[in-house]
Amino acid sequence: MPSCTPSVLPDMRSHTSQLDVAADLLALLGDATTEPRTDTQLEALTLAVAADLPVLLWGEPGIGKTAALKQLASALDLPLTTVIASVHEPSDFSGLPVVGDDPAQQGVPMAPPDWAVRLVRAGRGLLFLDELSTAPPAVQAALLRVVLERRIGALRLPPGVRIVAAANPRSSAADGWELSPPLANRFVHLQWTHDHDVVVRGLGGTWPRATLPRLDAERLPEAVDVARRAVCGLLTARPALVHRLPSGESRRGGAWPSPRSWEMTLRLVAFATAAGSSREVLSLLVRGTVGDGPGLELLAGLDRMDLPDPEVLLADPAGAVLPDRGDLRQAVLDGVVDAIRRSPERSRWDAAWTLLVRAMETGAPDVVVVPATTLASLRREDWDVPEAIERLAGVVSLSRRADEAARRSAVASGARR
């Protein structure tokens, strides 16, 4: 009976050869480089990772959350440990009891899972908790200690381990759950969206490079001072913002203000200040920690902290440098008028008019209308009217006529209804 081996071996060699060629093609497709590129959401992610705060990336399926985490781990040279939260039991995070020889004397320790042991042995790494919104409430409860205290069973994760999670909105998650408020309040929430140019260039083989922010060692004390003044100043003026649990279930699963999230925000402001991060990056972070409303109020407070001192402007009004943004310029001029009100002197009043003229000549004229009207009301009887008022009179008069026209239009519109 003839052997079939000679006819089979060539086919096996052929198949093996084709698999090798396929592997070569896959390797070529996987080759990619990185380049420095402005990417606001990636910068926000790396800043939060540098600040050692847990981050939760929210985005639709297939948006690139997992790929971003893999690239981040590679760029930071951190071993990536991925744990799919939804396929684990609560005991996988709290630890399994291990009964020893004498439980009455030695107790019953909680044995951690193997991935936690590997992270502890490595001393550093990126723990990626994926599919968080599909984890049932019992698993979410077990994750509380992992995220906040960094403990799994009897093990404590070393400082070199960072925690990042990802979730799909409940509407697009498979058997999704709303995130519990205690767990949600432990994360910096970042909305992860795709950038067309980044995707196209990345598919062409070049992705943005993730790098940790470069902190300026000389600015560390200043950064802490700025963060504390901004957060404490806002909460002093707005005590209701210290803790405000949203009423809706879905909003409770996102960012909202609490003492814990304000502490996280303070840390992020300090890191962003020391790193010289853009306001766009800081906006993503603070709104992702305490919510849109409180976050925007904090950003407005930071803007006001950067405004020039009214007394410095009054000392040299002709050479004053005013903010370009209209709202900030308005705030500066209002501050100057308040300074005159507190200390009314003829020379200071004249200097304020010179400053208003400069504001009119270098920006939108309507910004000076309210400050000019208020400043005029502060005039004393023995103070001569400065020439600057004549240069502003037309702007104020025009604004008043426009307001009166708008008022008449509104009245007429109401009458027609």
User: Per-residue pLDDT tens for 212-256?
Assistant: 889 999 999 999 999 999 999 889 888 999 999 998 777 888 999
Q: The tokens 């901004």 sit on which residue?
A: 230
% of the chain exceeding 90 in pLDDT: 32
Q: How far is residue 302's CA from residue 3's CA, in Å, rounded to a whole number? A: 84
Would you state the structure tokens that stand for residue 157, as one six-digit string? Answer: 């994760």
> Judging by beta carbons within 10 Å of its beta carbon (0-12, 13-18, 19+), is residue 378 exposed, middle or buried?
middle
User: Per-residue pLDDT tens for 143-187?
Assistant: 888 888 898 877 899 999 999 999 888 666 556 678 889 999 999
The predicted structure's pLDDT at residue 398: 41
Q: Residue 189: CB partners within 8 Å, gap ≥ 6?
A: 56, 58, 254, 255, 288, 289
Q: Which residues pair with 151 in a beta bridge?
A: 156
What DSSP state is assigned to residue 144? H
Distances (CA, A) of 254 to 46, 137, 169, 231, 234: 20, 15, 11, 20, 21
Would you state the structure tokens that stand for residue 256, as one six-digit string? Answer: 């909202």
Q: How far is residue 149's CA from residue 37's CA, in Å, rounded to a whole number? A: 35
Residue 366: half-sphere exposure toward Cβ, Cα within 13 Å = 9
The predicted structure's pLDDT at residue 247: 86
pTM given for the model? 0.75
Written as one letter, the residue type at 329 is: R
Give the pLDDT band (50/70/90) at residue 10. Answer: low
112 close to 97: Cβ distance less than 8 angstroms: no
What number of residues does the chain have?
417
Distances (CA, A) of 38 to 42, 46, 211: 9, 13, 11
Q: How far is residue 40's CA from residue 284's CA, in Å, rounded to a whole number? A: 8
Q: The tokens 């995220």 sit on which residue?
A: 147
Q: The tokens 């002093």 sit on which residue?
A: 236
The predicted structure's pLDDT at residue 401: 42
Give the pLDDT band (50/70/90) at residue 361. Answer: confident
Q: How far is residue 202's CA from residue 73's CA, in Å, rounded to a whole number? A: 17
The predicted structure's pLDDT at residue 12: 58
Among 28-32, 106-110, 381-385, where is mean pLDDT lowest?
Answer: 106-110
User: Per-residue pLDDT tens for 383-409?
Assistant: 887 777 777 766 555 444 434 444 554
